[in-house]
């Protein structure tokens, strides 16, 4: 499950980076910063999953990262290509905020469950 989650999250990061590079008008450091910000939740998920050693945490983080990666990529594709308007590029700012928040809250929840289960 860990390999599947890492593969799916890495694929989502690559897709996000490719959509971002094709959407840039010209290459700039600001644009590169926005692309790094857009990919940062995926890097956090891969890092967290690589550092997890308990089976409960691996399963929980794997499911959470796969769901966040799928929905984040789908939302980005929807906002950039399907429902395209003048504010579509703001998806690169807003979607990572939601991804960071959801992943941090769910990781905290999984950590608390892990601590309760190991205390018994």
- pLDDT-derived band of residue 120, with 50, 70 and 90 as boundaries? low
* pLDDT number for residue 54: 85
- pLDDT-derived band of residue 60, with 50, 70 and 90 as boundaries? very high
Would you give the DSSP letter of residue 79?
A: I
Q: Is the pLDDT of residue 61 over 90?
A: yes
- Joined tokens for residue 118: 């190991």
- pLDDT-derived band of residue 1, with 50, 70 and 90 as boundaries? confident
Rg of the chain over CA atoms, in angstroms? 16
Q: How far apart are CA 62 and CA 2, in angstroms?
A: 6
Q: What is the pLDDT of residues 74-111, one digit of tens each?
A: 999 999 899 888 888 888 899 999 999 999 999 999 88
Q: How many other CB atoms are found less than 10 A from the CB of residue 102?
A: 16
Q: What is the pLDDT of residues 3-23, one digit of tens each?
A: 999 999 999 999 999 998 988
For 57-96, give one letter per residue: b (16+ CB within 10 A) or e: bbebbbebbbebbeebbeebeebbeeeeeeebbebbeebb
* pLDDT number for residue 89: 82
């Amino acid at each position: 499950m860990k390999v599947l989650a890492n593969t799916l999250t890495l694929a989502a990061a690559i897709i996000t980076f490719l959509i971002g590079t094709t959407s840039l008008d010209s290459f700039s450091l600001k644009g590169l910063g926005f692309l790094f910000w857009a990919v940062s939740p995926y890097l956090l998920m891969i890092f967290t999953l690589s550092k997890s050693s308990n089976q409960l945490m691996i399963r929980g983080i794997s499911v959470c990262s796969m769901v966040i990666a799928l929905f984040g990529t789908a939302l980005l594709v929807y906002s950039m290509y399907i429902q395209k308007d003048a504010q579509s590029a703001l998806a690169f700012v807003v979607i990572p905020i939601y991804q960071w928040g959801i992943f941090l809250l769910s990781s905290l929840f999984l950590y608390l469950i892990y601590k309760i289960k190991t205390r018994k």
